């Protein structure tokens, strides 16, 4: 066995030596072979197929992963940006109608790293079953939330489960091999991060959204994915679940964290497999260590109160977003978002006023590849109007069971899922906007609100046409956070 000479893990970031194999590495990681794990038996399985375009795009992500890993594992990394990229791209443009056995596409990779494929396969199953639950038309929102809690317990029952605790992403991306893949293979890395964008943006598309209103959103999201996100080589860091599905991440932080930890594991593996100069044994050991770092068993007994900053056991998270680990340069609430700059996750993305804690919760805007939380419908509309291209607004109404979904076309014309929606809006000071900028399922619900809140008496209800023509612009309360990009240009594409 070739010794890893001088491999000492430094206490901080910027390690310049390979990490050593931990003494408590689980025995199954050293075992060869591949175990077949299957879905939790349930009536909702394969509900993703209710949105055919979404299902096919998701099935294609597995094909792309497998083809790239097979090229890396079989010594054909020189073909990644040419032949392999083109083969993957053909599949992405003509995605399969049914899921494909990834192991059949990557036999060399599975033979060498079967223990890793167990981890990937089990976490990908969690991805798909979470989607299936949310896309299932047979249950109420509360029943779906209960099932997601049970599904998480089912996932954790296997030794291959990843931790649901937040991990310090800067730490996990700080090893000697880190960032190498994205620098050397920017086109294929763009595909990987494009897959992860799709796998994280979809949850707010589905969460507490009536199943009849899910497919219309995917017309916007799918177009963005296929035309932009798959080929973006400029993103500073991999997509994070709470960035793209903040409502879902806040309700299910353990799922959001597990998905982010999975995607960071993908990044670590990409970097290790593409690192020149490593022996086969070194690659195998570093992959095993990368798995160990994010396993549930490694962090068992710990919690979000287990805080060892800048280490493997750094489980800090922004107080406003429990489904998010600490990012490069981030602090209590501020983080750098690709395409947006520095943002405070506890504030409205449009007016910079703290988000309201009471219900209804406000709205989110999905546009130009990002999703931001805002305080009110006015902020949502005006923020969307500032952004070129199509957008989606998801907003609370007076009925917790009826979410307003507005989908725009290229000209900014909105199509609602609630045919009788009516809006209340009277421009005033933004700290109060969550009271006077709201959506109601019908005129009767608005009248009841006005009776209960006489300070707004006499305000007329606005139909969608009248409301959508308003635009108050950027509010005076907006605070731009003027801090430099913490990611090195060219080193973190």
pLDDT tens-digit readout, 317-376: 988 888 999 999 998 889 999 888 999 989 999 999 998 776 667 899 999 999 999 999
pLDDT tens-digit readout, 266-322: 999 999 999 999 999 999 999 999 999 999 999 999 988 777 888 999 999 988 888
Spell out the domains of the chain, with CATH numbers in brackets. Answer: 27-299 (no CATH), 347-468 (3.30.450.410)
User: Can you give the pLDDT at residue 309?
Assistant: 85
Tokens representing 258 are 């597990």
Which neighbouring-strand residues pair with 335? 343
Q: What is the Cα–Cα distance from 191 to 290, expressed in whole angstroms?
A: 21
Lowest mean pLDDT among 133-137, 246-250, 334-338, 357-361: 357-361
Q: What is the Cα–Cα distance from 223 to 205, expressed in whole angstroms?
A: 14
3-state secondary structure 173-227: CCCCCCCHHHHHCHHHHHHHHHHHHHHHHHHHHHCCCCHHHHHHHHHHHHHHHHH
Q: How confident is the model at residue 14 (pLDDT cuts 50, 70, 90)?
A: low
User: Can you give the pLDDT at residue 15?
Assistant: 59
pLDDT tens-digit readout, 215-239: 999 999 999 999 999 999 999 999 9
- Give the mean model confidence (pLDDT) for residues 113-130: 95
User: Can you give the pLDDT at residue 489?
Assistant: 54
**pTM of the predicted model as reported, rounded to 2 decimal places:** 0.93
pLDDT tens-digit readout, 374-429: 999 999 999 999 999 999 999 999 999 999 999 999 998 999 999 999 999 987 77
Whether the per-residue pLDDT at 491 is higher than 90: the answer is: no
Mean pLDDT over the full length of the chain: 91
Spatial strand order in the sheet of 404-408: 370-374, 363-367, 391-395, 404-408, 414-416
Task: Read off the DSSP letter of residue 474.
Answer: S
With a pLDDT cut of 70, the percent of the chain lying above it is 94
Whether the per-residue pLDDT at 210 is higher than 80: the answer is: yes
Q: Which 3 state secondary structure label does DSSP give 78?
A: helix
Whether the per-residue pLDDT at 33 is higher than 70: the answer is: no
β strands within 77-155, DSSP E: none
Q: How confident is the model at residue 11 (pLDDT cuts 50, 70, 90)?
A: very low
């Amino acid at each position: 066995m070739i010794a890893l000479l001088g491999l000492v893990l430094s206490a901080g970031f910027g390690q310049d030596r390979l990490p050593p194999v931990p003494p408590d590495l689980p025995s199954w990681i050293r075992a060869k072979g591949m175990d077949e794990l299957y879905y939790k038996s349930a009536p909702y399985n394969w509900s993703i197929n209710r949105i055919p375009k979404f299902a096919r795009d998701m099935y294609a992500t597995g094909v792309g992963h497998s083809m790239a890993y097979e090229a890396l594992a079989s010594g054909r990394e020189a073909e990644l940006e040419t032949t392999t990229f083109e083969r993957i791209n053909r599949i992405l443009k003509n995605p399969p109608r049914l899921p494909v056995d990834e192991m059949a596409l990557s036999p060399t990779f599975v033979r060498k790293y079967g223990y890793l494929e167990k981890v990937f396969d089990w976490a990908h199953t969690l991805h798909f079953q979470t989607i299936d639950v949310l896309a299932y038309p047979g249950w109420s929102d509360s029943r779906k939330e209960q099932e997601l809690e049970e599904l998480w317990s089912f996932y954790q029952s296997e030794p291959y489960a990843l931790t649901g605790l937040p991990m310090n992403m800067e730490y996990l991306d700080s090893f000697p091999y880190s960032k190498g893949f994205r620098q050397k293979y920017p086109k294929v890395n763009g595909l990987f991060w494009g897959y992860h964008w799709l796998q994280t943006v979809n949850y707010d598309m589905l969460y507490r959204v009536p199943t009849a209103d899910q497919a219309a959103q995917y017309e916007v999201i799918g177009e963005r994915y296929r035309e932009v996100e798959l080929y973006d080589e400029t993103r500073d860091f991999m997509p994070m679940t709470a960035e793209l599905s903040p409502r879902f991440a806040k309700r299910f932080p353990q799922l959001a964290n597990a998905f982010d930890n999975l995607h960071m594991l993908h990044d670590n593996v990409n970097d290790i497999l593409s690192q020149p100069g490593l022996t086969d044994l070194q690659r195998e050991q570093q992959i095993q260590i990368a798995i160990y770092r994010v396993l549930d068993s490694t962090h068992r007994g710990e919690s979000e109160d287990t805080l060892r900053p800048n280490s493997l056991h750094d489980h800090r998270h922004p107080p406003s977003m429990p489904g998010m680990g600490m990012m490069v340069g981030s602090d209590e609430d501020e983080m750098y978002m690709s395409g947006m700059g520095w943002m405070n996750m506890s504030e409205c993305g449009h007016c910079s006023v703290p988000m309201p804690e009471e219900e209804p919760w406000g709205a989110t805007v999905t546009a130009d590849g990002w999703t931001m939380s805002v305080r009110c419908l006015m902020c949502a509309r005006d923020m969307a109007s500032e952004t070129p291209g199509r957008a989606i607004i998801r907003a609370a109404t007076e009925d917790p069971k009826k979410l307003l979904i507005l989908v725009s076309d290229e000209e900014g014309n909105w199509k609602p899922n609630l045919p009788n929606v009516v809006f209340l809006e009277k421009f005033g000071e933004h700290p109060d906007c969550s009271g006077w900028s709201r959506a109601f399922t019908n005129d009767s619900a608005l009248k009841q609100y006005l009776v209960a809140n006489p300070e707004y008496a006499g305000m007329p209800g606005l139909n969608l046409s009248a409301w959508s023509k308003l635009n108050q612009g950027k509010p005076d309360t907006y605070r731009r956070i003027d801090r430099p990009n913490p990611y090195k240009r060219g080193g973190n594409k």
